[in-house]
């Protein structure tokens, strides 16, 4: 079950990176499929059909909190700072990972996202109205890359040890 979960998780995030960098959108069908897979995995684990735990969120409660935390970013959508696909992706990612890993992913992804946004602002200042980009910042791609870098990090690395001890024990 754990290998299947990792396969779905990595494939989902890789698809988000590709779609968001290439087309600056995250398809609803991809989000719904990933959400259905995670809910199915949670139900299978919760009912005891398969023994063990999932690598991400440890319980349906953690998944629900992560989902709601990701959905809370709708405020940034209302302020026109994020796209709706980015917010929906973060909600589904929270369903997979729970609140701690989602929070770390947002924190780590904020650096390249901010650099990209500043680049666009400086370009617009320098070139005037013609320098304004019609394409937004691919926040979902940056968050997915941050999550994938943690997921694929060797467990023997010191950074992985520090991150995993924080994520799985909580503050």
pLDDT tens digit string along 109-154?
999 999 998 988 888 888 877 766 667 889 999 999 999 887 776 6
> pLDDT, tens digit, for every residue of 61-109?
999 999 999 999 999 999 988 899 999 999 999 999 999 889 888 998 9
CA angle 31, 161, 145 (to 5 degrees): 30
pLDDT of 27 over the 90 cut:
yes
- In 10 A of CB 111, how many CB atoms? 11
Cα 103 to its chain centre, rounded Å, is 9
**Which stretches does DSSP call E strand in 73-147?**
none
Residue 155 backbone phi and psi in degrees, to 5: -70, -10
pLDDT of 41 over the 50 cut:
yes
Euclidean distance between CA atoms 53 and 46, whole angstroms: 9
Which helix (H) or strand (E) is 133 found in, with range? Answer: none
pLDDT of 171 over the 60 cut:
no
Q: What is the pLDDT of residue 56?
A: 82
pLDDT-derived band at 164 (thresholds 50, 70, 90) equals low
List all residues 6 or more positions away from 171 whose beta carbon is below 8 Å from its beta carbon: none
Alpha helical stretches, state H, 48-98: 60-71, 74-78, 84-97
Q: What is the pLDDT of residue 66?
A: 95
What one-character DSSP code corresponds to residue 130?
Answer: G
Q: What is the pLDDT of residue 88?
A: 97
pLDDT of 157 over the 90 cut:
no
What percent of the chain is predicted at pLDDT more than 70? 87
């Amino acid at each position: 079950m754990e290998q299947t979960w990792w396969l779905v998780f990595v494939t989902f995030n890789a698809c988000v990176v590709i779609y968001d960098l290439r087309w600056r959108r995250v398809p609803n069908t991809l989000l719904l499929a990933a959400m259905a897979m995670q809910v199915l995995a949670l139900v299978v684990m919760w009912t005891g059909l398969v023994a063990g735990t999932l690598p991400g969120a440890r319980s349906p409660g953690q998944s629900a909190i992560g989902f709601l935390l990701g959905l809370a970013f709708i405020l940034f959508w209302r302020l026109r700072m994020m796209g709706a696909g980015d917010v929906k992706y973060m909600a589904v990612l929270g369903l997979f990972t729970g609140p701690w890993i989602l929070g770390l992913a947002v924190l780590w992804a904020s650096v390249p996202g901010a650099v990209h946004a500043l680049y666009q602002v400086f370009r617009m200042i320098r070139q005037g109205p013609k320098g304004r980009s019609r394409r937004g910042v691919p926040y979902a791609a940056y968050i997915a890359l941050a999550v994938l870098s943690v997921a694929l990090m060797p467990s023997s690395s010191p950074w992985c040890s520090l991150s995993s001890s924080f994520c799985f024990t909580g503050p």
